[in-house]
Structure 1
Amino acid sequence: MNFTIEQEQESDGRWLAEVPELPGVLAYGATSLEAMTKAEVLALRVIAERLEHSESRPFAISISIPVMA
């Protein structure tokens, strides 16, 4: 399964990053990198929790981070 981190800058200057394939996995940061890092960490925690509680089977994962322009 492939996971993508999407990001956007809010009107107040904060950055929001989320993993659409995992509902509820989103994080704010002062910078784009900080928000993406937090979202990736949270995504890995969610996947680990699902595996630990037998809510998911093990699968190959790939996390894509868009290139900044």
Structure 2
Amino acid sequence: MIYKVALHRSEEGYSVSLPGLPGCCSQGETEAEALENIAEAIREYLEVAPELAAKAEVREVEVSV
């Protein structure tokens, strides 16, 4: 699966987050390292997401544009 990530350069290297998965973020000294790290963070996030969702009360909301 392909995810769009937000990559930001900083004095320490790169930070990267995934707007579609709140709280899923990582970093690396290089862009390549940051992208490798966020891929691992996404895998770990997706492993626990069903467990976290099971503990929440889920509702649906309709939005008209």
| Structure with the larger helix share | 2
Structure 1 stretches of 4+ with a deviation exceeding 4 A read: none
Matched, 1:6 2:6: yes
- Which digits, 9 at most, give the CA deviation of each residue in 1:24-69, with x for residues without a partner? 1111100001111111111111111123x2727xxxxxxxxxxxxx
Unaligned 5+ runs, structure 2 = 55-65
The gaps in structure 1 that reach 5 residues or longer are 57-69
The alignment covers a number of residue pairs equal to: 54
- What residue identity is the alignment partner of 2:20? E
Percent of aligned pairs with the same residue?
17
| TM superposition score normalised by structure 1 | 0.63
Name the larger-Rg structure: 2
- Higher RCO (CA 8 Å, separation ≥ 6 residues): 1
Q: Normalising by the residue count of structure 2, what TM-score does the alignment of the two structures yield?
A: 0.67
